[in-house]
Amino acid sequence: MLQTVRWTDNACRLLDQTKLPTETVYVDIVDERQMWDAIKRLVVRGAPAIGVAAAFGVYLGVRSFSGELLPFYDRLNEVCDYLATSRPTAVNLFWAIDRQRRVARDAGRSVRADTSDEHTIALVKAKLLATARQMLDEDTAICRRIGEHGIELLMPLTAADGVIRLLTHCNAGGLATVQYGTALAPVYVGVERGLKFHVYADETRPLLQGSRITAYELQANGVPATVICDNMAATVMRQDKVKAVIVGTDRVAANGDVANKIGTFGVAILAKHFGIPFFVAAPTSSIDMSLATGDLIPIEARSPDEVTHGMGRQTAPDGIDVYNPAFDVTPAELVTAIITERGVVKNPTTESLRLTAL
Ligand SMILES: CSC[C@@H](O)[C@@H](O)C(=O)COP(=O)(O)O
């Protein structure tokens, strides 16, 4: 399985997802500006992968600092604030940056009073790198557990021919995390157990994460997949080609409303219409108990060019007005269950999410 984020001797190596599916290219990120740009341009994308990449970005932004302790912490805060402006919707970005801030503060407090600034700064830098590397391992383990919980929900949906048929939107597979993915984790865990799947991948306009990335990784992992244009999902459901929808999320509000790639809301409405379960897979780090409802989730607005020039050629007239929100919010009442690493939350509510998330 391809790894999206890794640490080399002195750089954070990212799989450049803007080049998929035709080129498998890696880029070495050596400072926080390059990391900001990589997150903004979707070189690294998907909520959990963005979080881990940002954690490395924090380290890269301070690693060459030399000076006194107070200016060091000023610099650290500046780097954290800067990285937090790269994308607004995936809460994992802020979760990872805040974790790095805490690690730095706690490491600074843990030293003896007579420790030199130089030694304290070296210790904090080492802790920041170690924490980012730890997040790589944690993400893989968390996604694996999401897969194990999710497969229990999917197995009863096996058709008479032994195949579990699903529809997914955008990419919440291994390429959106460090390795297993969230929405696709149950598929990979199921395949390991000898189960059979067929996944319909919405192409996911405008940036085509479904056809470029989900289809690519499913094919690479030997999972039968069919790409459909986004406007074909209703027909696929009506023809009984899928038994469930499973997607990832960038942020779950306290009441269970779910932000995910634009178009997810429409798929959830369709699933309700056809009586198909709509599952959301998410690490608990994607649950934001500080926002009461999904209306409060910041939604990223992206460049009109993605809509008008997205396919390598101009597909709309010059000067036309364009609306390009990158995410939408699916209300909790359309969510059958949220699958986390700590277990499954059916019909999510603030109470049930609090028990799982905190
Ligand atoms: C496991 S990732 C879940 C989401 O981050 C994913 O579904 C998604 O919407 C990604 O959007 P992207 O804009 O490609 O970062």
Q: Looking at residue 229, which CATH number applies to its domain?
A: 3.40.50.10470
CA distance 349 to 358: 14
CA 317–ligand 1 middle distance (angstroms): 29
Q: How many domains, the chain?
A: 2
Domain boundaries, position 342: 145-357
Q: What is the pLDDT of residues 49-78, one digit of tens each?
A: 999 999 999 999 999 999 999 999 999 999
Interface TM-score (ipTM) > 0.85: yes
Q: What is the pLDDT of residues 266-306, one digit of tens each?
A: 999 999 999 999 999 999 999 999 999 999 999 999 999 99
Domain end position, chosen among 142, 166, 185: 142
Q: What is the pLDDT of residues 180-219, one digit of tens each?
A: 899 999 999 999 999 999 999 999 999 999 999 999 999 9
Q: Are residues 49 and 180 in the same domain?
A: no
Dump strand ranges (E) for 137-256: 163-168, 196-202, 225-228, 244-247, 251-253
Q: Are residues 177 and 112 in the same domain?
A: no
40 annotated to bind ligand: no
CA 174–ligand 1 middle distance (angstroms): 11
Domain end position, chosen among 142, 176, 195: 142
CB distance 35 to 7 below 8 Å: no
Which residue from 40, 92, 261 has its CB within 8 A of the most atoms of ligand 1, so it is best to mutate? 261
10 annotated to bind ligand: no
Q: Is the pTM of this model over 0.80?
A: yes
Q: Are residues 138 and 152 in the same domain?
A: no
CA distance 94 to 181: 19
Q: Is 329 in the pocket of ligand 1 (CB under 6 A)?
A: no
Phi, psi (rounded to 5 degrees) for 12: -95, 120
47 annotated to bind ligand: yes
